[in-house]
Amino acid sequence: MHGRPRKAPKPEDAAASAAKAEKLRALQSQLLHNHHNQIYTKEALEISAKLLEANPESYTAWNYRKLAVEHNLSHSESDPDTVKSIFSEELRVVENSLKQNFKSYGAWHHRKWVLSKGHSSVDHELQLLDRFQRADSRNFHAWNYRRFIAALKGIPDEEELKYTTKLIETNFSNYSAWHNRSVLLSHLLQNKVKGFFPKEKVLVEEYEFVHQALFTDPDDQSGWFYHLWLLDQTVKPETPLLVSTWPAHGSDIIVSAEGCLDGRALSPFTSFHSDAGTFPLILYFNEAVEGVNSSTVTVKSVFTENKDLVWKPLATSKSCAAQAWVTHLNVPDVKLHPSTAYPIEVNLGDSQGIISLSGSHCSHPSRFAFTVCVQPLSSKHAERQSVEMILWRDVNFHFYDAHVQESSPIAYFDRLSIKKDHEPAASKWHAKTLVNEIALVRQLLSEIDCKIGKLTLARLLMAHDAMVSYMAPHSHKKVHSEEVLQLYSDLMELDPMHSQYYKEAQSLVLLQQVTSNRESLLKHCCHHRVSTSSSVGNSVCLRLNNLSLSRIGCVEQLLWVQMLDLSHNELRSIDGLEAMQLLSFLNLSHNKLSSFTALEPLRLLKLLKVLDISYNEIGAHPVDTRRYLCSSPLSHTVGSDWNFNEFVPDDAKVTNYWEAFAIFRGFNLTQLDIVGNAITDEKFKSFLIKVLPTLKWVDGEELH
């Protein structure tokens, strides 16, 4: 068992173990000899059977038997009795091996392979499964195999659902039965099978069923996990939805092709500067989708033909699916009249081409429109910006005063939630169900202190706030935010082993608070002063510093952000920032970023000019665990065309810097701060200066 000290074996046990090991080595040696020499005689097969019955984890032996079956079938002259005998022997060997270890992957896979050939009866299989499931009702191997057999026999999902009911009523702690129930119900609900429609009626019955388990043994997690699945079914829209865009619906965008905007364009939501002669159009969905292209999204504009637009998924992986998608429209010709507002209209959802990873189509048509005009340029401001360094000190930021709050175009925040041409998917039933479940869990927690009960209550409260916000888009107040934050704080104390999980969930709640309404957001928006002696600059910064954030969320509300301060937090990942395509200035200093791999989302931010990653933990850890847990640019498919000799100093090791090269290659940064990381030294700075020829400032020093 985990956590228990291992006892020294007795002399007689050690001798028996040694004898068994010697026998296994002898069988293994004979098996490999037969395998390499393609010997498939009856005697050779008996040797492999003995090995597998003693050690079912010998994958080589299972593969050998597959080859032997194929070989013997080819020499059986298609005699039905011989074929049946060959496969019956395989089933016998598997069954004997499972008696030794009924959680053997190789044995279960081999049995599936035999039955998939179609020469064996499946009638015996359910009886065999019953024996194994009585021995261990939570054996997920047996449950997977049961789904396989049910599909072969054509057993209706309704019958299998009744089987899960029987096992759950026998033992509420049967997590595997609950899981299988969720799989079966998903199919039945999706296909709208008779008796399982409407969905609301079925979910009400399931809530009542799981309540029995929760009140019988609140400390058992099996029923709680099923309850969380029911919650997801209750609040999740059945089809993908467009939830946010930039530009926002109804906004009047002011674009400059070069230079900078004058003082009349202070709104971070409506002004944009472009050196590339284009500006982004961003779509943000409630879940990852694929199929966004010029056929499924129609853009009506005088600047760019719809057929010429190329949509790209904003994802760090090689997947064709993403929550956020972007295309670029040409900046209007500066010769056009600057006071003219040119309309742009975007329509999507009329076709079935946009599809989620679960296979559901974006079937709700959505439309949004905005206008674009060219702002007269100020060369004086442009020249000043090109030579001044961005400073992130508090004295360089100026908060909005009351007068500015009233008159500022920041009111466009209220339009960030896209207006759809369909009724909200949420209904009174969903809200009523959440209220009932909240009351039930509160009642349960009043009687017993239960960790997963607190977690469920936190999720219910957040789901209720989100539901109310969706049903009433102009009511952004999160009623339960403070209570949810306290619940996660309590969970961190009750369950310190999973404190990082609770901390990340708490960060998402905090960000939802910040972005829930205009007044809350204004408290974190500042003008940036280029220097203490200059007038207020035109850059508007969203300052989310010193909030103890460990995860980034609510990105759909932040697509407008061009200057972002996330310093002095606890971020280990910046996943999500890739959707913020307008970001030009980013401060990530004093966080817990431990590797260059963690910076991968930055590769998709083509407008990034200023980056501060100082005082993190880059280079402090010899093993980059993110490379194995998350998608990474550092795969074998990247870098085959790189020429390090051009960038790396003669006395530096290429292996020390190739991850940094993967991240920064192709950037147009003018300012970079990286001091305070373990990897920082003069050699590395020299490397960065060569990789980033556009740099003008490094760690506060101007380059000459």
Strand-pairing partners, residue 631, are none
Sign of CA dihedral 279, 695, 562, 598: positive
Burial of 225 (0-12, 13-18, 19+ CB in 10 A): middle
Tens of pLDDT, residues 128-168: 888 888 888 778 888 999 999 999 999 999 999 999 999 99
- What letter does residue 23 receive in the DSSP assignment? H
pLDDT band, residue 624 (cuts 50/70/90): low
* Tokens 């759809």 -> residue: 420
- What residues contact 421, with CB distance under 8 A and at least 6 apart? 364, 365, 366, 367
Burial of 308 (0-12, 13-18, 19+ CB in 10 A): exposed
- What residues contact 395, with CB distance under 8 A and at least 6 apart? 529, 532
Question: What pLDDT, on the 0 to 100 scale, is given for residue 585?
Answer: 95
C-alpha angle 416/377/245, rounded to 5°? 15
Q: Give the CATH superfamily of 16-193.
A: Protein prenylyltransferase (1.25.40.120)
Question: What pLDDT, on the 0 to 100 scale, is given for residue 119?
Answer: 84
- Cβ atoms of 492 and 502 within 8 Å: the answer is yes
- Cβ atoms of 342 and 302 within 8 Å: the answer is yes
Residue 334 has pLDDT above 60, yes or no: no
Q: Higher confidence at residue 408 or residue 165?
A: 165
**Where in the chain are all domains bearing CATH 1.25.40.120?**
16-193
Lowest mean pLDDT among 24-38, 159-173, 211-225, 274-288: 274-288
- What residues contact 99, with CB distance under 8 A and at least 6 apart? none
Instruction: Give the number of residues written for the chain.
Output: 704
Query: How many angstroms from the chain centroid is the CA of residue 28?
Result: 43
Structure tokens at 433: 């169900």
Question: What pLDDT, on the 0 to 100 scale, is given for residue 411?
Answer: 39
Q: Which percentage of the chain shows pLDDT scores above 90?
A: 54
Q: What is the CATH number of domain 542-702?
A: 3.80.10.10
Lowest mean pLDDT among 112-116, 430-434, 583-587, 640-644: 640-644
Reduced to 3 states (helix: H, G, I; strand: E, B; else coil), residue 255 is strand
Q: Higher confidence at residue 640 or residue 581?
A: 581
pLDDT band, residue 534 (cuts 50/70/90): very low
Tens of pLDDT, residues 253-268: 887 755 443 434 445 5
**Where in the chain are all domains bearing CATH 3.80.10.10?**
542-702
Mean pLDDT over each residue of the chain, to the nearest integer: 84
Tens of pLDDT, residues 645-691: 565 555 555 566 888 888 898 899 999 999 999 998 888 988 899 88
How many C-beta atoms surround the C-beta of residue 554 within 10 A?
18
- SS3 percent helix, strand, coil of the chain, rounded to 5, is 45, 15, 40
Lowest mean pLDDT among 99-103, 164-168, 426-430, 694-698: 426-430
Question: What's the CATH number of domain 242-387, 2.40.50.140, 2.60.40.1220, 2.40.110.10, 3.40.50.10170?
Answer: 2.60.40.1220
Question: What pLDDT, on the 0 to 100 scale, is given for residue 264?
Answer: 41
Q: Higher confidence at residue 59 or residue 423?
A: 59
Residue 552 has pLDDT above 70, yes or no: yes
- Please give the average per-residue pLDDT across 407-431, as a whole number: 50
Which amino acid is residue 272, in one-letter code? Answer: F
**Where in the chain are all domains bearing CATH 2.60.40.1220?**
242-387
Q: Higher confidence at residue 392 or residue 255?
A: 392
d(CA 375, CA 253): 10
Taking the CA atoms of residue 465, residue 207, residue 161 and residue 97 in that order, the dihedral angle to the nearest 10 degrees is 80
Question: What pLDDT, on the 0 to 100 scale, is given for residue 384?
Answer: 47
Q: Higher confidence at residue 424 or residue 540?
A: 540
What pTM value is reported for the model?
0.84
Lowest mean pLDDT among 79-88, 289-298, 306-315, 653-662: 653-662
- What residues contact 58, with CB distance under 8 A and at least 6 apart? 28, 31, 51, 52, 106
Strand-pairing partners, residue 366, are 348, 420
pLDDT band, residue 75 (cuts 50/70/90): confident
Which amino acid is residue 42, in one-letter code? Answer: K
Residue 357 has pLDDT above 60, yes or no: yes
- Please give the average per-residue pLDDT across 97-110, as a whole number: 92
Question: What pLDDT, on the 0 to 100 scale, is given for residue 617?
Answer: 95
C-alpha angle 403/406/407, rounded to 5°? 90
Tens of pLDDT, residues 484-516: 999 999 999 999 999 999 999 999 999 999 998
Question: What pLDDT, on the 0 to 100 scale, is given for residue 225?
Answer: 95
How many C-beta atoms surround the C-beta of residue 27 within 10 A?
21
